[in-house]
Amino acid sequence: MGYPHPSHPKEQPVLSKHFGDAGARTFDGWVKRGGYAGLKKALGMTRDQVIDEIKASGLRGRGGAGFPTGMKWSFMPKEVTKPHYLVCNADESEPGTFKDREIIRWTPHQLIEGCAIGAHAIGAERIYVYIRGEFTQEHKILVAAVEEAYKGGALGPSAFGSGRRIDLVVHRGAGAYICGEETAMMNSIEGRRGNPRIKPPFPAVAGLWASPTTINNVETLSAAGHIITHGAEWYKAFCVGNPKSTGTKLFSVCGHVQKPGNYEVVMGTPMRDLIFDMCGGMRPGRTLKAVIPGGSSVPIMTAAEIEGCAMDYEGIVAKGSMLGSGGMIVMDDSTDIVYQVMRLARFYAHESCAQCTQCREGTAWTTKILERILAGQGRREDLDLLLDLADNMTGKTICVLSDSCAAPVVSAIRKFPAEFDAYISRQKQPVMVTV
């Protein structure tokens, strides 16, 4: 299948195999397509066996940080003295990222199955799926699927008769990007303001309601079912030369490509293949200028840096950026980098939770300077000021929202200085900055 485009031969559809297939949405439909076999198998295994299998598969967090999933699960206490919780992060709000949404929209049971396996592995009886508030249709689909999963026995007091209680609660966000940060998410679920918490204590020690908690991304959990069904070796084989990055990864490609959309490829696939083969390349007569490869929070890559870039955790880092969430924003030569960076900074200024000084004030100030440059009133010293503010905003706050605002600004100034100069030297017409 594939949605909105049929799968490209260079894709490796595992999670996206049933995208576009409405029949996969129902419990029966999912079972018919081989679903819930992984959960049934997992329920027959011990917690440690499940964790070992996930560890062996090499699965790493798909939300952005790339932390090994099996290891994260192994941090949960072996003895359950307090309730354990699994939180599924479905608050997909990173600009340029829209993969989790497709998973929930087409294959909600894929997610439910993965969640249940995760819950079993960490000794949790309750799962919270924190879904982005704007995902109204997906929320409806997910809630209907959860109801079916209870009826079908996958969830409830004894999941598939195993005696293991697994409950799933769908919790809707209310439109704050910061609630996608795992500790802010826990606060939000608890009914508090969605402010990130200081770590330590880490969630596996004191998370939701001060109890051991694991937070995983939708895509990560969705992969768990396939790994348990087909085995770690099968999953690990999805690899192009770098054993540290295995499996398949959904990339949400948006921007100036012929065919934007979600593409599931084996980790390590060349970025060039994705952009120029699968996505059909640039629009006619246009050339590639820049790519933000992992959602808006990572440094911008130039066209030159894309050459020879392997799309896995280490490959993109080697090129000076990060894999992040896999939300890829492609920009051709018609793009005004200064304007785009201003839009990003404005987003972070709007979404800063206001706790930490550097983030609250720095994101807004950065935006103002960029707006001033665009308005043709920039000064030579503004670029140094932006870089210095970015330095003051990086690595000094509770969460990384502040760093995320600084990263694209710094990389844009470093990699596209001429674009800033054009405004500052008044060679380029000022741009009306609108909302």
Binding stretches for other proteins (CB under 8 A): 176, 178, 193, 198, 349-358, 360-365, 368, 372, 385, 391-392, 395-398
Closer to other proteins by CB, 203 or 260: give it: 203
The dihedral formed by the CA atoms of 372, 375, 376 and 380, expressed in degrees to the nearest 10: 20
Signed CA dihedral, 198, 65, 234, 142: sign only: positive
Q: How far is the CB of 177 from other proteins (least distance, A)?
A: 9
Q: Which is nearer to other proteins, 55 or 197 (CB)?
A: 197
Give the nearest distance from C-beta 176 to other proteins in angstroms: 7
Contacts of 416 (CB under 8 A, 6+ apart): 290, 300, 302, 337, 338
At a CB cut-off of 8 Å and minimum separation 6, what does 328 contact? Answer: 96, 251, 252, 253, 254, 255, 274, 275, 291, 292, 293, 294
Compute the least distance from the CB of residue 320 to other proteins, in Å: 20
- Identity of the residue, 122 or 178, whose beta carbon is nearer to other proteins in the bound complex: 178
DSSP assignment of 360-373 equals HHHHHHHHHHHHHI
Q: How far is the CB of 325 from other proteins (least distance, A)?
A: 21
If the CB atoms of residues 357 and 425 are measured against other proteins, the closer one turns out to be 357
Q: Are 207 and 85 in contact (CB under 8 A)?
A: yes
Q: Does residue 169 contact residue 176 with C-beta atoms inside 8 Å?
A: no
Min dist. Cβ of residue 389 to other proteins (A): 8
Comparing CA positions, the residue from 81, 72, 71, 101 lying closest to residue 89 is 101
Closest CA to 119 of 196, 202, 201, 208: 208
Residue 403 CB, nearest approach to other proteins (Å) = 11
Cβ 166 to other proteins shortest distance, Å: 34
Q: State the nearest-atom distance from the C-beta of 203 to other proteins, in Å.
A: 17
Cβ nearer to other proteins, comparing 88 with 342: 342
What are the φ/ψ torsions at residue 55 (nearest 5 degrees)? Answer: -60, -45
Please identify, using beta-carbon distances, which residue of 275 and 353 lies nearer to other proteins. Answer: 353
Q: Which is nearer to other proteins, 24 or 405 (CB)?
A: 405
For other proteins, the closer of residues 110 and 367 by Cβ is 367
Write out the H or E segment, with its range, that includes residue 128.
strand 126-131
Q: Give the residue from 329, 403, 324 showing the smallest Cα distance to 62.
A: 324
Q: What is the DSSP string of 62-123?
A: TTTT--BHHHHHHTS-SS-SS--EEEEEE---STT--HHHHHHHH-HHHHHHHHHHHHHHHT
